[in-house]
Amino acid sequence: MRRRRTSQRARTSRSLELFAATTLAAALAAAGAAAGSPAAKPRVTVIGDSVAASLDYVPAARARLGRGLDLRSEAAACRRLVAESCVFRGTKPDTVLELVRARGSALGRLVVIDVGYNDWAAVYDVDRVVRTLRASGVRTVVWVTLRETTANYAQVNARIRSAARRWKRLVVADWNAASGGHGWFRPDGLHLTPDGAMGLARFLRPLVLAELARS
C-alpha cells in the first residue's frame, strides 16, 4: 500500500510538472512572438544554506530543476535569514537579507528561499525579507519549509505559513510534508543524500514552473 501511494505521488508530480512546463513554454513562445525574437530563459535564483547546497553537489539534481531556466544558486553553509550568519570553515556568508540587497534585480522574477536550519524562530523575519525582495523586483517567492526535527524548526515553519497569509505570491513549498517517509537524508535527518537532492529538485520544479507561468 505504501509503495502504491508513493507511485501515485510520483505520477501526480510528473503530471503537474508536464502541465506547468507546457504552460510556461506557451507563455514564453507568446512573449517571444510579441517581441519578434526568441524569449530569454526566465531567471530563477535559489537562496539556501547547506541543505539547499546539495543541488550544487549533485549535478543531475541541479539539471533537473534548472532545465529550461536561467537557474542561479546562492547556497552557502551557515547562512541565516536576517540574524548574522555563523562561520563555517573560516567563512561567514551573507544573510539572505544582505544577499537580496546586494543582488537586487539580478535575482530575477522568482526566488526560492530554503534557509532556516541555522536560525532561531524568534528572529526569523520573513516579512522583512519579502519586503526587500519585492523592492528588488521579485514577483514570486517560493519558500521551502524545514524538516520539523526540532520544536524550533516547527516554529520557523509556522512563521513561514503565517507570512504566506499576508503576502500575495508567497508560495509555501512544504518540504516537511513532501519528504516524509523517504530515506533521503544523512544521519542528522536534514542534509541530503544524492537521492535526496534529486527528490528536492523534483519537488520544487513543478512549483517553480507553475508560478513562472502565472507571472
pLDDT at 4: 53
> Is 67 domain-assigned?
yes
Per-residue pLDDT tens for 79-121? 999 999 999 999 999 999 999 999 999 999 999 999 999 999 9
> Is 16 domain-assigned?
no
> Is 25 domain-assigned?
no
pLDDT at 17: 54
What pLDDT band is residue 19 in, cutting at 50, 70 and 90?
Answer: very low
pLDDT above 50: residue 210: yes
> Is 6 domain-assigned?
no
d(CA 154, CA 148): 5
Show Cβ contacts of residue 168 under 8 Å, excluding neighbours closer than 6 positions. none
Per-residue pLDDT tens for 148-186? 999 999 999 999 999 999 999 999 999 999 999 999 999
pLDDT above 60: residue 7: no
Show Cβ contacts of residue 38 under 8 Å, excluding neighbours closer than 6 positions. 32
- Number of separate domains in the chain: 1
Q: Can you state the percent helix, strand and coil of the chain, rounding each to 5?
A: 50, 15, 35
Query: Residue 144 — φ and ψ, nearest 5°?
Result: -85, 130
Cell of 86: 555563523
Place of cell 543582488: 103
> Is 131 domain-assigned?
yes
Average pLDDT of the residues in 134-152: 98
**Which range among 9-13, 63-67, 105-109, 144-148 shows the weakest confidence by mean pLDDT?**
9-13
Q: Which residues constitute the domain of residue 166?
A: 41-214
Place of cell 526535527: 149
What b/e readout covers 54-63, taking b as 16+ CB neighbours within 10 angstroms?
A: bbbebeebbe
pLDDT at 181: 96
> Is 10 domain-assigned?
no
> Is 21 domain-assigned?
no
Question: Bridge-partner residues for 45, per DSSP?
Answer: 72, 111
CB 110 within 8 A of CB 66: no
Question: Bridge-partner residues for 185, per DSSP?
Answer: 192
CATH number at residue 210: 3.40.50.1110
Count of other CB atoms within 10 angstroms of residue 174: 16
pLDDT above 90: residue 75: yes
CB 97 within 8 A of CB 87: no
Q: Based on C-alpha coordinates, what's the Rg of the chain?
A: 17
For residue 85, the one-letter residue type is S
d(CA 15, CA 18): 5
pLDDT at 21: 45
d(CA 58, CA 198): 8
> Is 13 domain-assigned?
no
Per-residue pLDDT tens for 194-207? 999 999 999 999 99
Dmax (CA) for the chain in angstroms is 53
